[in-house]
Structure 1
Amino acid sequence: MEQVRAETQAEASAERLLSPAEVAEQFGVDVRTVARWEHDGRLTAIRTLGGHRRYLQREVLVLLAARAKGTA
Structure 2
Amino acid sequence: MNSAPAMTATLLTPGEVASMFRVDPKTVTRWANAGKIRSVRTLGGHRRFVESEIRELLMEAVPAQQR
TM-score tier, shorter chain, comes to: 0.7 to 0.9
Task: Report the Cα distance in structure 2 between the residues aligned to 1:32 and 1:46, rounded to whole angstroms.
Answer: 16
Number of residue pairs the alignment of both structures matches: 58
Which amino acid counterpart does residue 55 of structure 1 have in structure 2? F
Q: What 5-or-longer segments of structure 1 have no aligned partner?
A: 1-12
Please give the TM-score of this superposition, normalised by the length of structure 2. Answer: 0.77
Q: For residue 42 of structure 1, report the CA deviation from its aligned partner.
A: 1.9
Partner of 1:42, secondary structure, is coil
The share of aligned pairs that are identical, in percent, is: 43
Please give the TM-score of this superposition, normalised by the length of structure 1. Answer: 0.72
Higher helix content, 1 or 2: 1
Map 1:1-72; keep pairs closer than 5 Å: 13-69=7-63
Moved segments of 4+, more than 4 Å: none
Task: Report the Cα distance in structure 1 between the residues aligned to 2:10 and 2:63, rounded to whole angstroms.
Answer: 24
RMSD over aligned Cα, in angstroms?
1.5
